[in-house]
Structure formats: structure tokens, C-alpha cells
């Protein structure tokens, strides 16, 4: 990697991967992340974390560059989940980063194969009045990516059934904030269900929240274009 932008992107991707472990969102070799960038000759694509390497053993030079046809450039093999990273970045040009985790509470809820409803107004942070759950498909498969694309329409996050969580954003920092917030919401929902069935906010109430987010300080950057 000789291009300064590519180097900076690789360093930022490594830091985000380290933050995911530090925050307890990923462990060991689970999960992956990507960021949109250009290679050293100016071709459009993205960097993605390598397959099967624990974050503590990962270096910025291990990040793998791919273009949107699936061509690979790098010393390592890209994450087995590269397909939904490629498809999400290709389908949503306003997004620049994708994070996938096997975080505890999101993964727990994903095993029920149900959407997370608007039990809390912060659900709107994910872009709507629910966090959708994509149907189950084999990890790393094109079918899983196809399901994720549908679940992520007009959303910043979704669950993958019996698998985990995807969070996206306009930057790695944004995607990390979304991922952390949705995992927190998943923990709150699990705890609420231990007491009983929480009251669900109406579609109109959630529309009011989304409208307020558009003009509420730093929340403005977190609304979908």
C-alpha cells in the first residue's frame, strides 16, 4: 500500500476492529469490517478485514482491498463475509463503512428470527420503526448477502438470523456508533422481555422521533439521505 489515502484507511479500519473488541462487540476472529476507498491507481473499491486473524494479531497491512467486481488485492484472504460488504457498499453509495459483529445481545435476539420493534424511541437511529431481521442463510453465501440487502433498505442496521448484526454508516465512526447503539438496544429489549411484553411505540410516534433527529445536533448526520 503506497497510496497515503489507502494507508490511512487501513489504519482506521484496524483501529475500528480494535475498538470492536475493546467494546465487547467482537471476540477472537468473529466479525469483520470494511471501508470504502480507492487503491493506489485510483480504482474504486473498499478495504476489508482479513479472514481468520484475531484482531490482536492484525496489522494495517493485512487489510484486503477489493473492487466492486470482487477482484482482490492484498497479502491476505478477505473475510468470508465479503459479499454483503461489497453489495451493501455498491447498492448504497451514500454509505462508506460496514461493520458485522457477533455481539452478545444482538446475536441472542437473532436466534428468534424476529424484527426488534419500537420498544424504545432510539430504534429510530437505525433508520425506521424497527430493526429488521434478515432470514437465515449460510455465512459467506450470496443468499445471505441478498437477504441482508433487503433487510437494510432505508436502514443503518439489521440482524442476521441465527448469526449476528450488521451496522453501516457514512464513516467508520458512524458505523461503530450505530453498531454499539443497536447492541445496547438489544440488551435493553432482552431485559424488558424478562419482565413482560413492553409497550411498542406507534408508527406516528416513531415518525416524530425521526423528524426530530434530522435537526437535533449531531443526530442530523445519522439520518438516511
- Residue positions annotated with a catalytic role: 81
Phi, psi (rounded to 5 degrees) for 224: -70, 145
DSSP E strand stretches across 39-189: 44-48, 64-67, 72-73, 97-101, 133-134, 157-160, 164-169
Sorted by sequence, the CB contacts under 8 Å of residue 215 that are 6+ apart come out as none
Q: What Rg, from alpha-carbon coordinates, does the chain have? A: 17
Q: How many angstroms separate the CA atoms of 140 and 32, rounded? A: 12
Q: How many residues does the chain have?
A: 225
C-alpha cell at 140: 459467506
Amino acid at each position: 500500500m503506497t497510496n497515503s489515502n489507502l494507508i490511512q484507511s487501513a489504519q482506521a479500519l484496524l483501529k475500528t476492529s480494535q475498538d470492536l473488541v475493546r467494546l465487547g462487540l467482537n471476540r477472537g476472529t468473529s466479525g469483520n469490517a470494511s471501508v470504502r476507498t480507492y487503491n493506489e491507481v485510483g480504482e474504486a473499491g473498499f478495504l476489508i478485514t482479513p479472514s481468520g486473524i484475531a484482531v490482536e494479531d492484525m496489522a494495517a497491512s493485512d487489510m484486503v482491498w477489493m473492487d466492486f467486481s470482487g477482484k482482490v488485492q492484498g497479502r491476505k484472504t478477505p473475510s468470508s463475509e465479503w459479499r454483503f460488504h461489497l453489495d451493501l457498499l455498491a447498492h448504497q453509495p451514500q454509505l462508506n463503512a460496514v461493520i458485522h459483529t457477533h455481539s452478545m445481545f444482538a446475536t441472542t435476539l437473532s436466534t428468534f428470527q424476529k424484527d426488534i420493534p419500537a420498544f424504545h424511541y432510539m430504534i429510530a437511529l437505525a433508520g425506521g420503526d424497527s430493526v429488521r431481521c434478515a432470514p437465515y442463510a449460510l455465512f459467506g453465501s450470496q443468499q445471505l448477502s441478498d437477504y441482508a440487502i433487503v433487510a437494510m433498505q432505508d436502514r443503518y442496521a439489521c440482524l442476521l438470523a441465527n448469526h449476528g448484526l450488521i451496522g453501516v454508516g457514512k464513516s467508520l465512526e458512524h458505523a461503530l456508533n450505530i453498531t454499539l447503539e443497536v447492541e445496547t438496544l438489544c440488551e435493553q429489549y432482552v431485559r424488558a422481555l424478562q419482565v413482560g411484553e413492553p409497550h411498542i411505540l406507534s408508527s406516528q410516534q416513531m415518525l416524530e422521533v425521526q423528524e426530530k433527529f434530522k435537526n437535533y445536533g449531531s443526530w442530523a448526520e445519522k439520518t438516511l439521505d
